[in-house]
Structure 1
Amino acid sequence: MNPFLLTFLYFAIAIAVVVVGLVLFEMLTRKYKDWEEIREGNAAVALSIGGKIVGICIVLMFSIFHNDTIMETVIWGAYGVVLQMVAYILFDLFTRGFSVEEQLKERNVAVGLISFSVSIGVACVVGASIS
């Protein structure tokens, strides 16, 4: 296949997977609306969402490196989104002293940075496992 066309297809798939992932994350957060918070300048939520975007793209990158088909990349991308959601839920469960969602809503940048780091860390582990 023409490398320019293939690059465009991977680009389009990445956009689609990220958008679907962000819609699912928006449904996961009940105490605020991600894009409203970002529009209002909430850096903590922006860090959290940014980590998810970069995390999904890292998984897609490793998938493109190690797979032969576009469909495999879509499947790995979807799997990466699911694991990012699981990581976010676990992060919230393991922080017993406070709610991650409430802290992000209250603009706690420290929690946003940890959320960003969790997303990137999960993506690196998932990506490295793709063969």
Structure 2
Amino acid sequence: MNSFWENEFVKIAAYFSVVVLCVIVFLAVFELVTKYKNWEEIKKGNLSVAMATGGKIFGIANVFRHSIMQHDSLLSLISWGVFGFILLLIGYFIYEFLTPGFKIDEEIQNDNRAVGFISLAISVGLSYVIGAGIS
């Protein structure tokens, strides 16, 4: 059975499955903390929400990329991925806190593309910092 789990195709499929499941769960968490419904807004063509959501997806995937590169077990990979996600979530709240003049969620929901783009950049940028820490 050990040779089964050591097969590169099996490892990649396991990593892929775990990361996809985690991305779905983490996006559901982001959906809970934002005031808008991501997929409803994207369906309506809200580019700001699409950019912010895309940044979150990229950020989560990038954190898991570094986790996969540095850890051998699925449990370790998941643990570091969850830790990285928590840091991304904290970054989201810090971003909201540092902009007291307006509400990030409201601006993104109103399709303020500048705010959506900055949200994307923050998620991507923080994911590189978190990934470097994991590495």
Shorter-chain TM range is over 0.9
CA distance in 2, matches of 1:18, 1:100: 22
Give CA deviations for 1:72-121 in whole Å, capped at 9, x if unaligned. Answer: 11111111221111111110110111110010010001100000011011
Where do residues 88-103 of structure 1 align in structure 2 (5 Å cutoff)?
Answer: 88-103=92-107
- Residue in structure 2 matched with residue 65 of structure 1 by the alignment: 69
Identity %: 40
1:19: Cα distance to partner?
0.4
Task: Give the gaps of 5 or more residues in structure 1.
Answer: none
- Residue in structure 2 matched with residue 4 of structure 1 by the alignment: 9
> Which residue of 22, 25, 29 maps to 1:20?
25
Structure 1 ranges of 4+ moved more than 2 A? none
What's the secondary structure of 1:82's corresponding residue? helix
> Which residue of 105, 114, 120 maps to 1:116?
120
Q: RMSD between aligned alpha carbons?
A: 0.8
Aligned length: 130
Matched, 1:33 2:37: yes
TM-score, normalising length: structure 2: 0.93
